[in-house]
Structure 1
Amino acid sequence: MTAYLLAAVALIIAFAVNWLIPRPFWRATLLSSVLIVGATTLGLLYLPLGADVEVEQVRSWVWSILPLLGFFGILISVFVSWFLHVVRRRG
């Protein structure tokens, strides 16, 4: 459930940032990427994961997948910003 919640938060952040700051394209994309990585990292660190694990084990796991979180944050931001760019150009 936590993964779905964080994915929804990531999409909301990307849509909000790219809708409010549409220009320049790359500044909005990078800002939303940073916010997505920060929100998902904090969410994974502090939201219950539904598993019986030690807090230190979860923290080491989250820090080890931080590059992957960054990659998917950038990917979500680029797709959402490009989608909004195309929608605004057509409308």
Structure 2
Amino acid sequence: MRGLAYVMGSIIALLGIAVGGCALVFLGDSIVTGIEGFGFGVFVLASAFFLMATGLLSLAWWIFRRASRGPVEPDSGSDRRRPRPPGS
């Protein structure tokens, strides 16, 4: 459950970057060839920025939660001394 925010945030951020790249290409094409698709390109670009912001906020929340817990020491049990059995 801890890594779920990290995984989902990464996926959403990468999806937003991919959609943003496609939107920039679409906007560039609509500016060069004509202005008919400009509004749709702006809408897709805004959606991409929303996806990127959502993903990055999710990643930031995961990092903040992980950092606020402090250092986590592994509980391997190797530093504990076993009691000696009686009679030895």
For normalisation by structure 1, the TM-score amounts to 0.37
Structure with higher helix content: 1
